């Protein structure tokens, strides 16, 4: 396995945990998956990790966030993920935003925007809608540059392959 390509020095807990999500995105990159990674933190420790596995599992729902939410629910033995924070390297899509709302995750932190599918305002904004049972605190742009760089590098590599 190639070593993680970024030398990052976190200055906050959000940056510290985002590095863990970036490491998951790197795993996706190495597996030839769209490089999006996620971790869920509960009371100061990572309880779940995941990365995109859409191609590997042949499943359009196998996004990093979805797999990580499932893993976290198993770790806590509860589908309600209270007192957790989801860190993901890309703005969640509408499917993942729905799962975040339904699983009651109170906070998400993400890196790069997703102009095609982002559900925090890049395409639609599901988190700004008043929800009858739950609201989510959202912070974007944490380690946005390495998150976007990994995606850009991946898609350049994919385009180069298709031109051969």
Catalytic residues: 65
Phi and psi, residue 36, nearest 5° = -125, 130
Phi and psi, residue 83, nearest 5° = 60, 30
Give me the helices (H) in 31-135, please: 54-57, 64-76, 94-102
Instruction: Return the closest-CA partner of residue 151 out of 52, 67, 60.
Output: 52
- Give the pairing type, strands 45-51 and 137-139: unpaired
Question: Token pair for residue 126?
Answer: 């599901």
Instruction: Return the closest-CA partner of residue 114 out of 99, 130, 128, 94.
Output: 94
Tell me if residue 34 falls in helix, strand or coil. coil
């Amino acid at each position: 396995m190639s070593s993680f390509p970024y030398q990052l020095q976190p200055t906050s807990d959000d940056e510290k945990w985002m590095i863990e999500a970036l490491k998951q995105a790197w795993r996706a990159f190495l597996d030839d998956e769209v490089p999006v990674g996620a971790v869920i933190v509960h009371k100061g420790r990572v309880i779940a990790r995941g990365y995109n596995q859409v191609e590997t599992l042949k499943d359009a729902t196998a996004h990093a966030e979805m797999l990580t939410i499932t893993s976290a629910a198993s770790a806590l033995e509860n589908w309600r993920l209270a007192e957790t924070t989801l860190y993901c390297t890309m703005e969640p899509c509408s499917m993942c935003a729905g799962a975040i709302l339904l699983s009651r995750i109170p906070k998400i932190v993400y890196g790069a925007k997703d102009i095609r599918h982002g559900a925090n305002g890049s395409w639609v904004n599901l988190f700004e809608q008043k929800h009858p049972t739950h609201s989510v605190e959202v912070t974007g742009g944490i380690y946005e540059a390495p998150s976007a760089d990994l995606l850009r590098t991946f898609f350049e590599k994919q385009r180069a392959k298709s031109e051969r």
